[in-house]
Amino acid sequence: MATEVETWTTVQKHDGVLSFDDDVDMDHPYCDEDEAALEAEVNGNWTPQEKALHEARLKAKAKRRVRKSSSRSESLSESLSGELADGDSHSPKGKVPVPNDRKSRTGKGRGLPKKGGAGGKGVWGAAGMVYEVEEPDVKDPNYDEIAQGDTVYATVVPELDERELEKTVNPIVQEYFEHGDTKEVQMLLRELNLGHHKYEFSSLAVSLSLEGKASHRELTSRLLRDLVGKELSESDMARAFDKILKELPDLMLDTPEAPQMLGQFIARAIADHALPMAFLDRYKGKVDCDHARAALDRAAVLLSMKREMVRLDNVWGVGGGLRPVKHLVKEMNLLLKEYLVSGEVKEAERCLRDLEVPHFHHELVYEAVVMVLESKGDTAVKMMCKLLQAFWKIGLVTVDQMNRGFQRVYDELPEITLDVPHAHSIMESFTDLCYQESVITKQLRDSCPSRGRKRFVSEGDGGLIKN
């Protein structure tokens, strides 16, 4: 083997054969000698020794190429680290191509970034490009709520439709009829989003009051007066009354007196400046419905009576609890006198209900008993007993009110006797009749005061009572 190795080293150089000692430029893989060697191989002129030398040369060349590329990458990293340490990022050395840079590798062009640095994903864009202000996205993983400044949270109330409006407004109005506080209604309306159906609140309130009592209508007029300028406008109020005038035939099915009541509502609203003054003028000669015409005529008559446009405060009368006692006593006296003349129990019942003073019904009982004591004959006794019996059966006059009325007469009987000498005997007969008709209890009958201790004349008189 030693001989063969020496032979390899001392053999003459043939065309296309290289020695390991030759200094060949590895950057040019295809030189003239290589071309000659390849041509000799193709022609079949290579000896086995030449072929082995060629294979060894190729392996050595591959090893040198790997060493040279690795040394280049090390020198490049050293140069880049040195430039970063010096802080000169604008020097030519800083532009040495690095792996993963965005310069073209095709060998064409000047080695600048593609599209001037504006192409591709995740790049800043071309120099001098102006970006629009982007709104922060809540779904962005880097979204910072604190960095966005003060956050304002607002409660959004959806607008009510017609069905939900009626279900929501009815309890509010019914509760208002109990407490009569307009400020509470205003507060509840602010919490609702009525939207374009705001005017329907007034129409619903008026419709409900038409089916209620006179005190409810008085409260509704006050509510409309207080809402205008705060929660509702005059145009909203006018639109509400327009709707009620169109629905008047349907309202008359439940309330036959709806046209007259609606006319009073319109007159009261105009007097309270809740409706514009020209509301009635818009309907002149343009009304085809007879019921609507009757309501407007009623409003015009009431307004013509008040030349100075003073508020029609008494258009619904004074509420029961707000009326003075003298006025209530006078009304009950008139009620009983009309009953004694007509004898209609239903009319007396209606008049008593319209007063709306169930806590003051004992005054009716008291006045009825006093009329019996002051009357002549048995007609008033029977009629008053019939009236009290009717009120007792329907529950219009309660047990407490009945007992309180009779007890007041018992207490004032000595004074009544000064004007009516036979008041005691009339009272005893009337209480017995009422007890028989189940108007009063036995205890109330027994508590009726008598004239005093009954005196006998003597035994010889046969036990007769001294007159």
CA distances to 221, 269, 293, 334, 379 from 341, rounded to whole Å, are 36, 39, 37, 11, 11
Helix axes 345-355, 325-342, angle to 10 degrees: 170
Domains of the chain in start order, with CATH, are 2-66 (no CATH), 162-305 (1.25.40.180), 320-446 (1.25.40.180)
Per-residue HEC secondary structure of 137-169 comes to CCCCCCCCCHHHCCCCCCCCCCCCCHHHHHHHH
- Cβ 148 vs Cβ 136: under 8 Å: yes
- Closest C-alpha to 289, from 238, 331, 332, 247: 247
CA–CA dist 453, 30 (Å, integer)? 160
- What is the full per-residue pLDDT of the chain (467 aa) written as tens digits? 344 444 444 444 444 444 444 444 444 444 455 555 555 555 556 788 888 888 888 888 888 777 766 656 656 555 555 554 454 444 444 455 555 655 556 666 676 666 766 767 777 777 777 777 777 788 888 887 777 667 677 777 777 777 788 888 888 988 988 888 888 988 888 888 777 788 888 888 999 988 888 888 888 888 999 888 888 888 888 989 999 999 888 888 888 888 889 988 998 888 888 888 888 888 877 888 888 888 888 888 888 875 444 556 667 765 555 667 888 888 899 989 999 998 899 989 888 887 878 888 999 999 999 999 998 888 889 999 999 999 988 888 988 899 999 999 999 998 998 888 888 889 999 999 999 988 898 899 888 887 554 444 555 555 555 44
| Greatest alpha-carbon span in the chain | 196
The C-alpha angle with vertex 19 and arms to 18 and 24, in degrees rounded to 5, equals: 70
- Cβ 56 vs Cβ 93: under 8 Å: no
Model pTM above 0.75: no
Residue reference for tokens 């989003």: 193
The H or E element that residue 152 is part of is none
- Cβ 26 vs Cβ 65: under 8 Å: yes
**What six digits make up the tokens of 437?**
């008709």
- Closest C-alpha to 426, from 412, 411, 413, 441: 413
- Composition of the chain by helix, strand, coil, percent to 5: 60, 0, 35
